[in-house]
Amino acid sequence: MIFRVIKKEELKGLFEMLAAENRVIGPVEIGQDRNAAPIYGFEQVSDFSRLRLEYTTTKLPAKKYFLPYKEDMAAFRLAGRDWEKTVDYNSDAPNIFFGLHACDINALNKLDKVLLAGTYPMPYYAAKRKNMFIIGIDCEPQPYCFCRSMGSDTVMHGFDMFITDLGENYFIEILSDTAFNFLKKINAAEPVEADHVRYMKAASDRHLKFSTHVDTTDLTKILDMEFQSDVWKQWGDRCLSCGTCANVCPTCYCYSVEEHVAIDLLSAKKTKMLYSCNFIDFAEVAGGHNFRPDRHSRLKYRYYHKHRGFVEAYEEPLCVGCGRCGEACLAGITVPEVISSVRGGMVKHG
Ligand code: SF4
Ligand code: SF4
């Protein structure tokens, strides 16, 4: 692993070099909430001053750039007696992500396991994923973050460079040749021992700021034991089946496919849309039978996929502890509270 240190003012030069020839996506302020606190989102940025690298958490994850909420998969046109099929993986230009937090990079690494290395790789995802350059940046833990409990507060791979704020300087971890070559074009120095000490102090200070913890000890076994528990019914009674939790989740990838045929029957297209396992018809099959007609069974299976099934398949949960779902849920359903209640804690009503 190679490290470099740059003066903070050098980052603007790096951004401008990248933005000169590429599409750069980064955190920007997109509005304010009712308490006048900033709301952040990932958007295309061409002006460095718009970037908000000190952002908390974006409302939506970056997945719209590699798992769009709606995407045409194929178009068909009748040509004589045959259909002509056109497939577009919608990956026209590289995306440079400037300032992803560790949890969101870990989310991508988890998606890769299913959508790149799984039994049925998804070429639409692969085309965009392989066309990315990722600059990670450290974050300030928020009260709703529990990434540390999920092992996602730091990240080992899946990025090109990762930036840590050391006050006057940035400490940069480099994982790719491309990143190394970009950094050669700005004023970057090899770190000295004092930089290592500052880095370790920054890391330990940050670890102390995590205030929400989820006990994952033996969680897969506990979930097996508590499959019939009343807590699922209690949380299900509150769930609105709105699907917001899946939409804001950086690791949810379930989708539905619709086929549209033009009224003249000469053309058609197949469209993929991100879906939520909490929607009432998620488990409805041809003939009308619904395997999960109850809210509590749908909510339960979402938790079992993330904290039981995925762990069995990949030895890690399909949750990075970003806290977005709990923050966005109008019913106040949060992962730490649900898991605590399954472990024997009380279900809070409110
Ligand atoms: S858990 Fe919350 S966000 Fe998710 S579907 Fe239920 S009400 Fe909506
Ligand atoms: S389940 Fe919730 S906390 Fe976990 S990764 Fe998804 S949005 Fe974040």
Nearest to residue 199, comparing CAs of 36, 64, 1?
1
Q: What is the number of domains present in the chain?
A: 2
Strand partners, 87: 74
Tokens of 61: 């994850």
Phi and psi at residue 82, in whole multiples of 5°?
-115, 160
Name the residue of 278, 324, 327 to mutate for ligand 1: max ligand atoms within 8 A of Cβ. Answer: 278
Q: Could you report the per-residue pLDDT of 207-248, keeping only the tens digit for each?
A: 999 999 999 999 999 999 999 999 999 999 999 999 999 999
124 with 187, same domain: the answer is yes
Tens of pLDDT, residues 71-116: 999 999 998 889 899 998 988 788 999 999 999 999 999 999 999 9
Kind of pairing between the strands at 95-100 and 132-137: parallel
Is pLDDT at 308 greater than 90 in this prediction?
yes
Nearest ligand atom owner, CA of 108:
2
The reply to whether 140 falls in a domain is yes
Specify the DSSP element, H or E, that contains 28: strand 23-32
- For every residue of 194-234, DSSP letters joined together read HHHHHHHHHHHHHHHT-------TTHHHHHHHTTT-HHHHH
* DSSP code at position 64: G
- Is 142 in the same domain as 238? no
Q: Which pair of structure tokens corresponds to residue 134?
A: 């990722």
CB atoms within 10 A of CB 31: 9
Of all ligands present, the nearest one to the C-alpha of 300 is: 1
Q: Is the domain of 160 the same as that of 247?
A: no
Which of 103, 302, 319 is the best mutation target for the ligand 2 pocket, counting ligand atoms within 8 Å of the beta carbon and taking the most?
319
Torsion of CA 73, 122, 319, 234, to 10 degrees: 60
User: Is 249 touching ligand 2 by the criterion CB < 6 Å?
Assistant: yes
Is 318 touching ligand 2 by the criterion CB < 6 Å? no
Tokens of 5: 């240190």
Query: How far apart are the CA of 91 and the centre of ligand 2, in A?
Result: 26
288 and 245 assigned to the same domain:
yes
The sheet with strand 267-274 has its strands ordered as 82-87, 70-79, 267-274, 255-261
Which residue from 232, 245, 327 has its CB within 8 A of the most atoms of ligand 1, so it is best to mutate? 245
Asked whether residue 74 is domain-assigned, the answer is: no
**Beta strand 188-189 with 255-261: parallel, antiparallel or unpaired?**
unpaired
For position 138, what pLDDT does the model report? 97
The closest ligand to the CA of 331 turns out to be 1
pTM, two decimal places: 0.95
Atom from ligand 1 closest to the CA of residue 328: 3
69: pLDDT confidence band, cut at 50, 70 and 90? very high
Question: Does residue 286 share a domain with residue 223?
Answer: yes
Q: What is the pLDDT of residues 277-299, one digit of tens each?
A: 999 999 999 999 999 999 999 99
Ligand 1 close to Cβ of residue 189 (< 6 A)? no
Q: Domain for residue 317, yes or no?
A: yes
Centre of ligand 1 from the C-alpha of residue 330, in Å: 7
| 239 and 102 within one domain | no
Asked if 280 and 292 count as a contact pair (C-beta separation under 8 A), the reply is no
| Domain-ending residue, one of 180, 208, 236 | 208
Nearest by Cα to 197 from 209, 205, 186: 205
Domain annotation covers residue 76: no
- In the predicted model, what is the mean pLDDT of the chain? 95
Report if residue 52 sits inside a domain.
Answer: yes
> What distances in angstroms separate CA 305 from CA 24, 136, 179, 198, 342, one per listed residue?
33, 27, 35, 40, 15
Q: Are residues 25 and 138 in the same domain?
A: yes
Domain match, 177 and 316 both: no
- Measured CA to CA, the distance from residue 187 to residue 207 in angstroms comes to 30
Asked whether residue 301 is assigned to any structural domain, the reply reads yes
Ligand number nearest to the C-alpha of 104: 2
Q: How far is the CA of 313 from the centre of ligand 1 (A)?
A: 25
Q: How far is CA 289 from CA 228, 256, 281, 282, 283, in A?
A: 22, 17, 10, 11, 8
Domain span including residue 232: 219-252+281-342
pLDDT at 350: 45
| Residue in this structure with the two tokens 């039978």, named with its chain if needed | 289
Q: Same domain, yes or no, for 186 and 333?
A: no
Q: Which atom of ligand 2 is nearest to the CA of 321?
A: 3
Shared domain check, 113 and 224: no
> pLDDT tens across 155-199, in order?
999 999 999 999 999 999 999 999 999 999 999 999 999 999 999
Q: Does some domain include residue 36?
A: yes
**Is residue 150 domain-shared with residue 28, that is, in the same domain?**
yes
Q: Tell me: do 291 and 241 sit in the same domain.
A: yes
DSSP state of 59: S
Q: Is 200 contained in some domain? A: yes
C-alpha span between 252 and 255 (Å, rounded):
9
